[in-house]
Every structure is written in structure tokens, then in C-alpha cells.
């Protein structure tokens, strides 16, 4: 009887695995250390458990997401979606609804679960500087300092999008954190005009931002805190501060028309595992969207994450709904401004 029982268990295991045999999903994220962290913390364990192959690619843009859905040629099953992209996508109807029954909603921070997305990680844009130019704790400590090229001379680096850059400009102009939205676009551009002659690089990806700082192409600016801490751990003389950090939350979404919708949902549900979220936090230096993950994160690592309590004291959270209403028009003005 024991032999028969073992055979039945083996048959059940093989049968359940064969249901997913040959299944493959594509996850589109932002490449570099973030993409690697997604593959290691979530993709590899998921494949081992289910047999479903996970292919992690880059780089998601809203235009590409929308074009895939409209054409019916969906290449990305799951997309690492910035909150502003999520808000625009909901408005344009490009996402499949999430099966909330498969997600422990109570485990997530407020706003971490939405109708069309499951929170993946919090990340931040931070005041950043080279410590071989200014000793640590002697460099810029605010966006106002980043704009102060007399006290802190040298070329600056900023993201290639208006998103996060307009917020930094308004904070530099003295707008309180709780009054940044709705964004005064004219005021933000006027402030950016002051710094533009000193902006040496508009970095496009987190990996490029890391390369810019490694190569010492700029002395200071606005960079992703998690990415900076990763290269700092490898000996690059760079530091970032938590004062006035600009925080956002990315979601995992499923593009409408995905040919692997069920497998994609199965994958997203698996990322709610707090232990795997803690692994992701250690690899990426980004905060987990799940509350329970902090039970598995050492305090020395927790202190390096955007949502650690002390780091949130003067933080600004991106308001995605504002971008859903204004970003399409704003992008045109932004691109013209960069070319002037």
C-alpha cells in the first residue's frame, strides 16, 4: 500500500506540473540590478515551484505598453509599472483585472493592492553626490542645495523625464512637501531654467544612472537611492540622503490580451510571499510593498530602504492621478525644454 501511495503522489505531482509544461511568461522591468533582483527573488523560485519559465526583459514605457494592447500583439505578460503609468493605463483600459482572491490583501501597505495591480516595491529619487568631491555629510542635503551651484559647484545629473524632476524643482524653490501637488508647471520650469546650464546628463535608466556616477560624469543630482547604495557597496564614492526623498510605488500589472493570463496571475500571486519580498529588498535596496516582509529584513538593511520610518519624515510621495491627467501634454513641453 505504501508503494501505491507513493506512486499516486508522484502521479499527482507529475500531472499538476504537466499542466504548465512548456508555459512561459515574459516580465518586463527596468533592467540592471532591479531586473536581476526580480529574476532571483521571484522568477527562479516560481519556475522551480511551477515549471513555468520566466523571462525577464527591459525596458517598459507607457507608449510601448499601450501599443502592444492596441495592436493585439502583446509581448509582455507582466509589467513592472510605475504608479503614473498605472494610473494612465487604468484610464486607457490597457490592463487585465487582478484576481484579488489569490492575494493576501491584508499583508500589504495601504494602496499596495489595486484593481489592476499588485504592489511590487517602493523606490525613491534622492539628493545624491560624490563623496570624493564633498566628504560624506558635507555634501548637498536638500534640493535647494542641489540648485546651489556656488556652494556646491559641479555638473548635475537628472532623470530624462519630467516625472520626479518637476517635484525636485518645486522643493528646491521652497514649496512645502504637502503643497507640491497640484504641480505648478510654470513655476517648476522656471526653477529648472536656473539649473539647466549645469545639468550634464539626463539619465534614462537606473543602470545608466549608476554608470554616470561610476564614471564621475557629474558631481551631484537626482538619482535612484537603491541603485546608488548598490554601487556604494561596491566602492563607488557616492552618497544619497533621505531628506526630501521623492517616493513612488511600482505595481505588477497584466497587459490586456496577454496570451498567458492565468500563468501571469499565478506569478504575481507568488510575489506576495514576504520571505521572497525580503530577498528582493536585499538585492535591490528597494522597500517591499508587503508589511510582513520587514519581519525578515535585518535592521541594518531596513535603514537603507525608502519606507523605513526615519527616512519618511520629510518624504514626498508621487501622486499618480495628477500624471494621469497631465502627463501626455506635459511630455511635449518637457521634450521641447530639454532641446532648447
pLDDT, one tens digit per residue, over 102-112 is 898 888 988 99
Q: How many other CB atoms are found less than 10 A from the CB of residue 142?
A: 16
Give how far Cα 94 sits from Cα of 69, 90, 222, 254, 264, Å: 6, 7, 31, 9, 15
Question: Cell numbers 557616492 label which residue?
Answer: 238
At 2, the pLDDT band (50, 70, 90 cuts) reads very low
Give the span between the Cα atoms of 121 and 307, in whole angstroms: 10
Architecture of domain 19-122+249-307: 3-Layer(aba) Sandwich (3.40)
Would you state the cell numbers that stand for residue 131, as one nine-digit string? 563623496
Dihedral sign computed on CA atoms, order 199, 204, 210, 214: negative
What pTM value is reported for the model?
Answer: 0.91
**In degrees, to the nearest 5, what angle opens at C-alpha 287 toward C-alphas 244 and 60?**
90
pLDDT at 3 over 90: no
Would you state the cell numbers that stand for residue 138, as one nine-digit string? 558635507
Q: Where are the domains of the chain?
A: 19-122+249-307, 123-247+314-339
Question: Cell numbers 570624493 label which residue?
Answer: 132
Convert the pLDDT of each residue in 27-85 to its tens digit.
Answer: 999 999 999 999 999 999 999 999 999 999 999 999 999 999 999 999 999 999 999 99
Give the span between the Cα atoms of 81 and 78, in whole angstroms: 9
- Read off the DSSP letter of residue 7: H
CATH of domain 123-247+314-339: 3.40.190.10
User: In a 10 Å sphere around its CB, with 0-12 CB exposed, 13-18 middle and 19+ buried, how is residue 48 labelled?
Assistant: exposed
Give how far Cα 39 sits from Cα of 116, 271, 280, 306, Å: 22, 11, 9, 22
217: left (phi over 0), alpha (psi -120 to 50) or beta: alpha
**In degrees, to the nearest 5, what angle opens at C-alpha 154 toward C-alphas 169 and 222?**
35
| Percentage of residues in the chain having pLDDT higher than 90 | 89
Amino acid at each position: 500500500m505504501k508503494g501505491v501511495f507513493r506512486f499516486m503522489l508522484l502521479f499527482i505531482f507529475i500531472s499538476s506540473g504537466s499542466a504548465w509544461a512548456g508555459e512561459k511568461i515574459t516580465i518586463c522591468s527596468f533592467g540592471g540590478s532591479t531586473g536581476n533582483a526580480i529574476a532571483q527573488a521571484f522568477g527562479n523560485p516560481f519556475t522551480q515551484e511551477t515549471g513555468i519559465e520566466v523571462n525577464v526583459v527591459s525596458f517598459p514605457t507607457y507608449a510601448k505598453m499601450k501599443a502592444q494592447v492596441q495592436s493585439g500583439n502583446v509581448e509582455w505578460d507582466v509589467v513592472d509599472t510605475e504608479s503614473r503609468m498605472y494610473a494612465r493605463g487604468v484610464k486607457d483600459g490597457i490592463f487585465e483585472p487582478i484576481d484579488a482572491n489569490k492575494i493576501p490583501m491584508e499583508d500589504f501597505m495601504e494602496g499596495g493592492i489595486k484593481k489592476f495591480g499588485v504592489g511590487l516595491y517602493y523606490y525613491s529619487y534622492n539628493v545624491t553626490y560624490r563623496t570624493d568631491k564633498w566628504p560624506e555629510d558635507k555634501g548637498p542635503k536638500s534640493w535647494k542645495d542641489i540648485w546651489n551651484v556656488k556652494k556646491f559647484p559641479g555638473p548635475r545629473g537628472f532623470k530624462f523625464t519630467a516625472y520626479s524632476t518637476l517635484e525636485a524643482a518645486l522643493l528646491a524653490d521652497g514649496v512645502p512637501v504637502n503643497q507640491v501637488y497640484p504641480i505648478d508647471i510654470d513655476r517648476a520650469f522656471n526653477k529648472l531654467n536656473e539649473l539647466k546650464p549645469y545639468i550634464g546628463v539626463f539619465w534614462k535608466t537606473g543602470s545608466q544612472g549608476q554608470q554616470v556616477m561610476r564614471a564621475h560624469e557629474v558631481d551631484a543630482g537626482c538619482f535612484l537611492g537603491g541603485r546608488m547604495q548598490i554601487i556604494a557597496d561596491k566602492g563607488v564614492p557616492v552618497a544619497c540622503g533621505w531628506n526630501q526623498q521623492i517616493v513612488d510605488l511600482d505595481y505588477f500589472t497584466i497587459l490586456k490580451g496577454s496570451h498567458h493570463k492565468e500563468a501571469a496571475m499565478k506569478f504575481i500571486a507568488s510575489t506576495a510571499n514576504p520571505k521572497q519580498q525580503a530577498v528582493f529588498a536585499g538585492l535591490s535596496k528597494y522597500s517591499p510593498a508587503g508589511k510582513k516582509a520587514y519581519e525578515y529584513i535585518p535592521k541594518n538593511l531596513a535603514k537603507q530602504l525608502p519606507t523605513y520610518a526615519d527616512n519618511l519624515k520629510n518624504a514626498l510621495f508621487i501622486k499618480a492621478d495628477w500624471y494621469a491627467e497631465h502627463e501626455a501634454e506635459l511630455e511635449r513641453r518637457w521634450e521641447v525644454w530639454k532641446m532648447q
